[in-house]
Structure 1
Amino acid sequence: MWKRALGALMVLVVVAASYWWQRGESAWAVDTVAVVRGSIESRLQLTGTVINDRTVTLTALLDGEIMAIRAREGDVVEAGTVLAELDSRQAQALLDKAGAELILHEQLLEAATRTLERIERLSREGNASQQALDESRDAKLEAEASLKAAAATLALNQLRLDNAQIKSPFAGTVIEQSAETGQWLEAGTPLFKVVATEGTVIEANVSASDWSRVSIGQPVVLSSEVDAGTRWSSEISWIAPTVTDVSGQGKTVAVRMFPGKAAPSLLLGQEVDVDVSLQRVDDILIVPLQALQEVSPGEFRAFVLDGGRARERPVTIGLTSLDDAELVDGLAEGDRVIVPNGQTLLDGQDVRLR
């Protein structure tokens, strides 16, 4: 009798062992992460470009031949530096002529003034007619007008002479030169492009759906692949008043920031990584985003490890960063959350730690 009972017990042990062995073999190996308490910061990562709005194209203001090129592409220049000189011989001759005519009209005015004074004296003595007095007054007025016209002609020809020199309007760098000595130009022909030393900014485009989350004075962290490992701080200084449709990016809003004193040497057109701090919360429960599954827009679930089985838990999240989410409801501190790693888990499914 006892032998029969012992045999039955052994059969049960073998069956149970086989069941648990098969269950263990069929259980998925999973990784888990713990729900912990900490801080989370939402950030916006953008790509910015170094630009300078104070960039001008300098053109010839006169028709003429280039007599000399004084600056080349890449040269650093000061405000007023002569970049090129046009043939000024005609302008100089016209200026000399206008100067001589001005002297002549000054002398004519002096003579008309003396004549008027003499006629007025004779008129008071009764020795000059009213007609003679009127004519002398008209002659002086005409001489005054002629002198003003001569002065204006002199100023105009001085301007023509000045325009024969192409000067930089501000301190900066010549980034383009498009003419050479001996070349004949018409007025309006581009000669140089100069970018100002001051006024360099970094411009980035924020998606129109995110622009309401940025504001003037918002801190940013900047970095550049050219200077690997170099990071420096700045803040948003300008936000565009309009939305722009940028090719490949959709509707965006431009934002700008100054490079700041800590910035490395930057070139126009260089790309800079812009990391914008949007919001930060502390002392909260956080869970990695990779451990969450979005079942519908705004609704998430997680699977926790519970005695060798995956248990589904609906969760509510708040602020998110690139890697983590604020846990508002659904899990507790210390819960072990399964990382799906692309697997489709079911509630109650057998799992085991990898």
Structure 2
Amino acid sequence: MTLAGPNRTVALALVAAIILGGLFWAFLPAPVAVDLVEVQHAPMQVTISAEGITRVRDSWRVTAPVTGAAHRSPVRLGDAVVGGSTVVAVVEPAEPPFLDARARRLAEASVSEAEAAVRLAEANRARAQTQLDHALAERDRIRALTERGTLSRTVLEDAEQAALVASSAHDVAQADLDMRRATLARMQAQLESPATIRSQASATCCVEITAPHSGLVLELTDESARLVTAGETLLVIGDPSDLEIRVDLLSGDAVGLNRGTPARITGWGGETVLEAEVRQIGPSGFSRISALGIEEQRVPLILDILSPPNQRAGLGAGYRVEVTLVTWEAENVLQVPSAALFRSADDWALFTEVNGRAVQTPVVLGHVSRDWAEVLAGVAEGARVIAYPGSSVAHGTKITPREAMTP
């Protein structure tokens, strides 16, 4: 049976409507799958991450007091020492150098000159002694005559004055003789060979250095006997359980830090997260070239480790650690993921989900961390925002949830 007339027209129109409806439905844009995050209150921290190096808080550097030969070290790396008791180094003062022919002739001439000066000084002293003896005898004679009334008092005073002058001249001559003899001894010492000096040396010739403080030997320059110069480092002593951490932080990050800022220590090799705090912030910065070749201004920070030594067993001086500085924290903060934020003109904005569609919403932010941002105005608790919206999401785009994130 076939349709005719109006029925046929209605049937054709119905078929056409179904086909057009199917085509329209087929070409409708599909909803964009997005990550939805519920806005809620949760604890929040703003942190700065950096690398640090551990070091002993207080160390004592032992140096050579004189130039000479250091004996083989009596201590080894890691040995325990007692302050003021344990001998940690022995240094023998340097021997005089050998004289070449020219230097020896000069030294011998100096000795001859000094010997002649001694003979001259001895002659001067003998003359002064003779003059002194004469002046004293003359004074005694005149005193006896004065007492008998033969000579006046003035003559006696002149004789006493002459005796005093002669005594002073004798003292000057004796001092000059002593000086000339000392010069001769110095010149003769220059002629002594190192072998002669070594044979005359006693067991107390060497300088024994005791530990300035109790602790462990942290660094040992060289265990072998060797020549050292005055002021050269021989070893370093310290307590490896009393550690601190140095962090060279970017100057822009250091501005917001204060003494007592808390920190967490990770990446040191143990499973425990160590607690620390900032003790000192450097008064000035310095320049350093980064691994990318960029010149950076950095500020040194010193951190105290608050965790007890039994929680950081194995951590020693010179170890690399990862430091997380907590610049701000709160327990109840309305926050959204940083991945949901983007710039709109001069303001911050995000997409909220309203009736299955994306709605662009401006927001006012407070503190911002790496993953989360504090919201001061714009969205309320319980609203759902789109994380990582991408270019496929715009205001009014139909969306469908993919998964959720929580602070």
Please give the TM-score of this superposition, normalised by the length of structure 1.
Answer: 0.70
Cα separation, 2, equivalents of 1:205 and 1:187: 33
Is 1:50–1:203's contact at 8 Å kept on the other side of the alignment? yes
Which of these two proteins has the greater Rg computed from alpha carbons? 2
**1:197 aligned residue:** 239
- Bigger mean CA offset, 161-170 vs 259-268: 161-170
Matches within 5 A, 1:116-265: 164-172=207-215, 173-178=217-222, 180-181=224-225, 183=226, 185-188=227-230, 190=232, 192-197=234-239, 200-228=243-271, 230-248=272-290, 250-263=296-309, 264-265=312-313
- Structure 1 unmatched ranges of 5 or more: 91-122, 147-160
Residue type of the partner of 1:305?
E
Matches within 5 A, 1:1-354: 8=13, 11-12=16-17, 15-23=20-28, 26-52=30-56, 54-55=58-59, 57-80=61-84, 81-87=86-92, 164-172=207-215, 173-178=217-222, 180-181=224-225, 183=226, 185-188=227-230, 190=232, 192-197=234-239, 200-228=243-271, 230-248=272-290, 250-263=296-309, 264-265=312-313, 266-295=315-344, 299-340=347-388, 342-354=390-402
Residue type of the partner of 2:264?
V
Is 1:49–1:270's contact at 8 Å kept on the other side of the alignment? yes
Cα separation, 2, equivalents of 1:36 and 1:43: 20
- State the Cα distance separating 1:219 from its structure 2 match: 1.7
**1:96 aligned residue:** none
Cα separation, 1, equivalents of 2:223 and 2:162: 63
- State the Cα distance separating 1:31 from its structure 2 match: 2.0
Deviations 1:143-200 (A, max 9, x none): 9xx9xxxxxxxxxxxxxx687123332234241222523x3x2532735230422763
Cα separation, 2, equivalents of 1:186 and 1:340: 65
Cα separation, 2, equivalents of 1:8 and 1:51: 88
SS of the residue corresponding to residue 209 of structure 1 reads helix
Sequence identity percentage: 23
**1:94 aligned residue:** none
Cα separation, 1, equivalents of 2:27 and 2:356: 14
- State the Cα distance separating 1:270 from its structure 2 match: 0.7
Please give the TM-score of this superposition, normalised by the length of structure 2.
Answer: 0.62
- In structure 2, relative to structure 1, the CA distance for the partners of 1:186 and 1:339 (3 Å cut) is closer
- Structure 2 unmatched ranges of 5 or more: 1-5, 96-139, 145-159, 179-203, 403-407
- The two structures, once aligned, show a CA RMSD in angstroms of 4.0
* Matched residues, number: 302
Cα separation, 2, equivalents of 1:268 and 1:294: 46
Residue type of the partner of 1:281?
A
Cα separation, 1, equivalents of 2:94 and 2:394: 92
- State the Cα distance separating 1:64 from its structure 2 match: 3.6
- State the Cα distance separating 1:250 from its structure 2 match: 1.1
